[in-house]
């Protein structure tokens, strides 16, 4: 092989036949990596949003349950207030009067 043919072979190896406007494989890989990261971040964000919605639903259910419990307690308190206590004596009478007083204070009666 002559020196001129070697120079031509070198030039053909180094000369770029790729359009400079097309991204290189490294740039494509980087772009793909960023797209994958964006998809994963979006998935994480979606999961966070789902967790938030579930928490809101559970809080609403808990609030409803607590309201029902309060209503039941109010019914029990009203029932206790409506029962006669004049048949009680001693400590039982004192405890019943104290409980009645607390119930009246609780409901502003």
Q: Establish if 1 belongs to a structural domain.
A: no
Query: Please, which pLDDT band fits residue 5 given cuts at 50, 70 and 90?
Result: low
Triad 4, 10, 15: Cα angle to 5°: 125
Residue 89 inside a domain? The answer is: yes
Tell me, yes or no, whether 7 lies in a domain: no
Domain count, the chain: 1
pTM tops 0.85, yes or no: no
Would residue 38 count as lying in a domain? yes
Q: Which domain holds residue 49?
A: 25-107
CB 97 within 8 A of CB 85: yes
**pLDDT score recorded for residue 42:** 95
DSSP 24: P
How many other CB atoms are there within 10 angstroms of residue 66's CB atom? 10
- Least Cα distance to 107 among 77, 80, 82 occurs for 77
Residue 41 lies in a domain: yes
What pLDDT was estimated at residue 57?
Answer: 97
């Amino acid at each position: 092989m002559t020196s001129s043919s070697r120079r031509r072979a070198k030039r053909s190896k180094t000369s770029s036949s790729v359009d400079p406007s097309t991204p290189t494989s490294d740039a494509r890989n980087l772009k793909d990596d960023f797209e994958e990261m964006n998809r994963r971040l979006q998935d994480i964000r979606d999961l966070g949003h789902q967790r938030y919605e579930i928490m809101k639903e559970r809080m609403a259910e808990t609030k409803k349950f607590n309201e029902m419990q309060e209503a039941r307690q109010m019914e029990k308190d009203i029932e206790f207030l409506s029962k006669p206590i004049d048949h009680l004596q001693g400590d039982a009478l004192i405890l019943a009067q104290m409980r009645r007083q607390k119930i009246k204070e609780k409901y502003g009666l």
